[in-house]
Amino acid sequence: MERPIGVTILAIGAALLAVINGIIMIRFLGFLPFLGPLDVRVFNLWYAFLYGLLAYVWAWLTGMLWNVDPQAWLFLAVIVVFNLCIDFVVLITGGTWYDINVSVILNGLLLVYIMLPGVRSAFGTD
């Protein structure tokens, strides 16, 4: 199946989110400091595991999108909303906006973009 440009943009966005979640995982393992008002290292194994799992899921979803798998559209919608929920939990449990801003903005853009009619028709979900 030929890949439309909208699906290619989604695949690139999913790959970016895989990298971002991998970086956040490394930050929660304490290898990279959280940059912001305080330059501190935070170790939280639960968040590191969660973001590592999300990085793996985003990488897997990138492959599904690249191959224009029909189930990828719904799976992408579910994972975007789940990732936004996780970012919200991090925000209300002591994280700062600076820690998750790129993830929230990119997830929000992907959520809006996957609802466009042209992208939905590429996956046959009209």
| Share above pLDDT 70 across residues of the chain, in percent, rounded to a whole number | 92
Q: Which helix (H) or strand (E) holds 120?
A: helix 117-122
Which token pair is 113? 């973009």
The pLDDT-based confidence of 79 (bands split at 50, 70, 90) is: very high
68 DSSP 8-state letter = T
pLDDT digits (tens, 9 = 90+) for 88-121: 888 888 777 877 788 899 999 999 999 888 888 8
pTM: 0.82
Alpha carbon distance 5, 25 (integer Å): 30
Which 8-state DSSP code applies to residue 73?
Answer: H
